[in-house]
Amino acid sequence: MNLRSKGQRPVQSGRVRGVDARSGGPVAVDVWWLVDTGADLATVRNSVARGLLYRKVRGASASPTTGGGGILVVYGLDVEFRVVDRSRHRERVVVSSTQVGVKSNDAGSDVLGMRQLADQSATVEWSPRTGKGQIST
């Protein structure tokens, strides 16, 4: 089981990886992903993306369902999370380099979206009653 409970919602520790805007070197920022099966793509709070290099995706837009500001859709931020590899019966770290949304503020959570899970051919199993579940491939 690699998902924990935040109330009845699944969360998992992970990271956002990118390039430091000052040094040009690789950097990783620790986050708690809220696993949201209703979210098309991962979104991160402005404070997480601040200081990282990314570029806007032309013609793409997103809007939050929780209110508060817009979302800029970008390339250049990688989403790191853990999956249970069913064929090897062990957990491994995966990275998705698909589009990510950057929130214009720090409202809400950092969200792991379905585009990132689909990119890794991952599935979500979650029991709100027990507060246990997993992301697996």
Identify the CA nearest to 96 among candidates 115, 83, 71: 115
Residue 46 parent element (H or E):
helix 46-49
Could you list the residue range(s) of the whole structural domain that residue 51 is in?
4-136
Residue 58 has pLDDT above 90, yes or no: no
pLDDT of residue 6: 83
- Tell me the per-residue pLDDT of 12-27, one tens digit each, with 9 for 90 and over: 999 999 999 999 999 9
**Residue 112 C-alpha from the chain's centroid:** 3
CATH number at 50 reads 2.40.70.10
Please count the structural domains in the chain. 1
Q: What is the pLDDT of residues 62-116, one digit of tens each?
A: 666 655 668 999 999 999 999 999 999 999 999 999 999 999 888 889 999 999 9
